[in-house]
Structure 1
Amino acid sequence: MREARAEVREQLEGWGFAARGDLVDTAVLLVSELATNALLHSASRFTLTLSAAHGVLRCEVADSGHRAPQVLDAGVAESGRGLFLVEALALRWGCHQGGTGKTVWFELGIRGTDRRGGRLPGDP
């Protein structure tokens, strides 16, 4: 997990988002949750893909598992809070199945508006 978190932080800072610590911290947290799920539930390695375009940061974690992720109630479950956080903090998220496994993804706004429709800090 440490490597995934470091990779996300390094890439986002390399893309010029260092001043947007909230964005970087949120992306790092959510990628960590998805990577943990990949390791726990698929017992396989995972692939991390990041892209940024049109005001959206998209993070994808692909693994060889075929079980679709489920959001659990954060107040009741002993584990499984990761997707609860993803659902709460991401603009959108989802999962798509492929022949060799699944990819769980989320998107965060990087300019323009946040998930509630307001301006993001630092935007004109």
Structure 2
Amino acid sequence: MTAAMERLGAHLDIDRGRAEGQAARKEIRERAAKVIADPGTVDDVELMAAEAIANAVLHGTGTIRVTICTDGVRLRVEVRDQGPRDLDVHGRNRIDHGRGLAVIDALATEWGLDRSESETHLWFVV
């Protein structure tokens, strides 16, 4: 986590289902609105979180864990899964076949992606 940030609520664990992903988006939006006054930025956080979760569903394995942190000004969202699959659900060996990372790159103040055999960790800060 970014230095001096504290977790905002419990981790959100997603079991890869559509309904769970939608519920996580709603929860992320609600938590973001507690820290961020600008509704447009809250929309951006929800969009970036949705893209990060979609990447974890398409390209990762295991349970997806979302962690939201804040220092009272900035918000950090972390999305982790239990490592990349050999091929995505469409039979491709790619980390991003759409625009998810480009969206995050355009909207986030900073972001990063760390991958190992046992974990994929995507995070962004606004």
With the length of structure 2 as denominator, give the TM-score of the two structures.
0.67
How far 1:25 moved relative to its partner?
0.4
Query: Is 1:5 paired with 2:25?
Result: yes
The 5-angstrom pairing of residues 19-58 of structure 1 reads 19-53=37-71, 55-58=73-76
**1:45-98 deviations in Å (ceiling 9; x for gaps):** 20000111163211000001247x856xxxxxxx42000100111111102346
RMSD: 2.2
Three-state SS of the structure 2 residue aligned to 1:80 is: coil
The match for 2:120 is 102
* CA separation of 1:58 and 1:36: change in aligned 2, threshold 3 A: same
- Consecutive unaligned residues of structure 2, counting only runs of 5 or more, are 1-20, 86-93
TM value normalised by structure 1: 0.68
Q: Partners in 1 of 2:35 and 2:82 — Cα distance? A: 32
Highest CA radius of gyration, 1 or 2? 1
User: Where do 5+ consecutive residues of structure 1 fail to align?
Assistant: 72-78, 109-124
Distance 1:70 1:40, change over 3 A: closer
Runs ≥4 in structure 1, deviation > 4 angstroms?
A: none
Q: How far apart are the structure 1 equivalents of 2:51 and 2:29?
A: 15
The CA deviation string for residues 7-66 of structure 1, in whole angstroms up to 9 with x for no partner, is 1112123x253x421121000000000000000001432000011116321100000124
- What is the number of equivalent residue pairs in this alignment? 98
Percent of pairs identical after alignment?
34
Identify which of 57, 78, 86 aligns with 1:60. 78
Say if 2:59 and 2:95, in contact at 8 Å, map to a contact too. Answer: no
Q: Which has the higher contact order (CA 8 A, sep 6+)?
A: 2
Q: 1:12 to 1:81 in 2, by over 3 A?
A: same
**Are 1:95 and 1:102, in contact at CA under 8 Å, matched by a contact in 2?**
yes
